[in-house]
């Protein structure tokens, strides 16, 4: 009997070793590229997501995060993801690859964190639209969007915007991201638009060539421009995201169970990243106040007016690429007609 027990124990150990070896053999490491710096809260969300996926797949899907543009600029990396030479990306979607991506940078889609978070829900018309738009980029699968920040306008010291929340002439040279709908919006608000490289913004504001910049949230403004900024205007209806995209070549190797694990891990961290975004926003607004930067905040009536300007001026620009229905669907979804 003892010999029999020993025999079966040996067999069990051998089988366990075989299964362990098979499991180890199936484990694969995937590269996830982000152009954001190490330690940024959105990257931290991607890292937690990767850890969750690794745990829930028993180590078979091991995602390694490459930060600070280690694998290249975000446009270059996106091309590599399409080709399948880079596995995954935290992508800043640009209209270079699909004009429909402009919708993500169109003012007035949603205002304030509550609406923006609702808009980024997987089942929202916005996310369904982005999923479809990414399919038009051969070789890419869209998983979802992490909320980065709500962008405002940082105004240079010595420049005074008397009526920031109407359409009067601002007498201010404002740098605006190269998105047609966003440019139309700020032009309609009375700014004179300037196109200069981001790297030249600080010096241009310091020397008085540039009156302000519209491309950053509170954290970016404080860390990069606080020494040349006198005021920060919270427009609250233009936000930035990082999209999680996976090479279709990689995605097609996953079974349905693994795909579900990835979706669930992303959705769980999307909630946490949104909370971190709120925390970061408030933290850096407070730091700007301590640095004697004036914070200009709209009331509900002013915000509603600016949303109206966006719908009238900016939305039709984007509708040339997206069609009108998606804006109607989003408005209905947010009960914001």
In DSSP notation, 62-76 reads EEEEE-TTTT--HHH
Distance (Å, whole) CA 193 – CA 216 = 16
Distance (Å, whole) CA 28 – CA 64 = 10
**Helices (H) then strands (E): counts for the chain:** 13, 11
- Residues sharing a CB contact under 8 Å with residue 197, sequence separation 6 or more, in sequence order: none
Q: How many residues does the chain have?
A: 337
Under the banding of pLDDT at 50, 70 and 90, the label for residue 215 is confident
pLDDT for 7 beyond 50: no
* Residue 220 near residue 287, CB atoms below 8 Å: no
- How confident is the model over 174-201, as a mean pLDDT? 95
Under the banding of pLDDT at 50, 70 and 90, the label for residue 230 is very high
Distances 151 to 232, 236, 317 between C-alpha atoms, Å: 10, 7, 20
pTM, two decimals, is: 0.89
Q: Provide the pLDDT for residue 10.
A: 43
**Bridge partners for 31 per DSSP:** 64
Distances 295 to 230, 238, 277 between C-alpha atoms, Å: 9, 17, 18
Sign for the pseudo-dihedral over CA of 171, 184, 235, 98: negative
Report phi then psi at 179, rounded to 5.
-115, 120
Q: Provide the pLDDT for residue 336.
A: 55
Cα 111 from chain centroid (whole Å): 16
- Residues sharing a CB contact under 8 Å with residue 273, sequence separation 6 or more, in sequence order: 41, 42, 45, 146, 147
Which residue from 75, 94, 96 is spatially nearest to 33, judged by alpha carbons?
Answer: 75
pLDDT for 227 beyond 80: yes
pLDDT for 14 beyond 80: no
Which residue from 152, 113, 107 is spatially nearest to 305, judged by alpha carbons?
Answer: 107
Strands (E) across 151-234 are located at 152-156, 173-175, 192-194, 212-216, 229-233
* Minimum mean pLDDT range among 92-96, 127-131, 151-155, 239-243: 92-96
Which residue from 105, 86, 88 is spatially nearest to 96, judged by alpha carbons?
Answer: 105
- How confident is the model over 99-124, as a mean pLDDT? 96
Q: Provide the pLDDT for residue 237.
A: 95
Cα 322 from chain centroid (whole Å): 19
What is the average pLDDT score of the chain? 92
| Burial class for 110, CB neighbours closer than 10 Å (0-12, 13-18, 19+) | buried
Domains of the chain plus CATH, in order, are 26-148+241-282 (3.40.190.170), 152-238+284-333 (3.40.190.170)
Instruction: Tell me the per-residue pLDDT of 254-286, one tens digit each, with 9 for 90 and over.
Output: 999 999 999 999 999 999 999 999 999 999 999
* Residue 78 near residue 89, CB atoms below 8 Å: yes
Instruction: Tell me the per-residue pLDDT of 125-166, one tens digit each, with 9 for 90 and over.
Output: 999 999 999 999 999 999 999 999 999 999 999 999 999 999
pLDDT for 222 beyond 50: yes
- How confident is the model over 40-51, as a mean pLDDT? 97
* Minimum mean pLDDT range among 21-35, 56-70, 211-225, 309-323: 21-35
Q: Specify the pairing of strand 294-296 against strand 229-233.
A: parallel
Q: Provide the pLDDT for residue 9.
A: 52
Q: Provide the pLDDT for residue 6.
A: 45
Q: Provide the pLDDT for residue 26.
A: 75
Q: Provide the pLDDT for residue 88.
A: 98
- How confident is the model over 193-199, as a mean pLDDT? 92
Instruction: Tell me the per-residue pLDDT of 282-299, one tens digit each, with 9 for 90 and over.
Output: 999 999 999 999 999 999
């Amino acid at each position: 009997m003892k010999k029999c027990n020993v025999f079966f124990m040996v067999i069990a150990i051998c089988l366990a070793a075989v299964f362990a070896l098979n499991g180890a053999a199936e484990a694969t490491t995937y590269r996830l590229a982000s152009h954001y710096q190490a330690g940024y809260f959105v990257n931290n969300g991607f890292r937690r997501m990767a850890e969750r996926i690794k745990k829930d797949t028993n180590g078979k899907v091991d995602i390694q995060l490459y930060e600070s543009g280690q694998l290249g600029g975000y446009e270059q990396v996106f091309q590599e993801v399409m080709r399948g030479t880079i596995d995954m990306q935290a992508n800043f979607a640009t209209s270079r690859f699909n004009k429909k991506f402009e919708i993500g940078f169109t003012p007035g889609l949603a205002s304030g964190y509550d609406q923006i978070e609702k808009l980024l829900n997987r089942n929202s018309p916005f996310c369904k639209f982005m999923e479809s738009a990414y399919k038009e980029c051969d070789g890419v699968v869209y998983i979802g969007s992490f909320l980065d920040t709500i962008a405002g306008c940082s105004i240079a010291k010595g420049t005074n915007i008397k009526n920031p929340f109407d359409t009067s002439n601002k007498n201010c040279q404002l740098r605006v991201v190269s998105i047609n709908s966003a440019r139309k919006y700020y032009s309609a608000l009375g700014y004179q638009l300037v196109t200069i490289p981001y790297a030249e913004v600080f010096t241009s504001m310091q020397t008085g060539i540039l009156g302000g910049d519209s491309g950053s949230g509170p954290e970016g403004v404080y860390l990069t421009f606080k020494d040349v900024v006198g005021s920060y205007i919270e427009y609250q209806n233009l936000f930035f995201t990082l999209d999680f995209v996976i090479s279709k070549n990689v995605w097609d190797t996953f079974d349905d169970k693994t795909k579900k694990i990835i979706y669930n891990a992303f959705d769980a961290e999307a909630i946490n990243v949104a909370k971190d975004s709120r925390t970061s926003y408030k933290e850096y607004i407070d730091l700007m106040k301590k640095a004697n930067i004036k914070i200009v905040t709209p009331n509900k009536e002013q915000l509603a007016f600016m949303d109206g300007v966006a719908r009238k001026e900016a939305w039709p620009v984007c509708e040339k690429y997206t069609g009108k229905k998606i804006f109607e669907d989003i408005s209905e979804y947010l009960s914001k007609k």
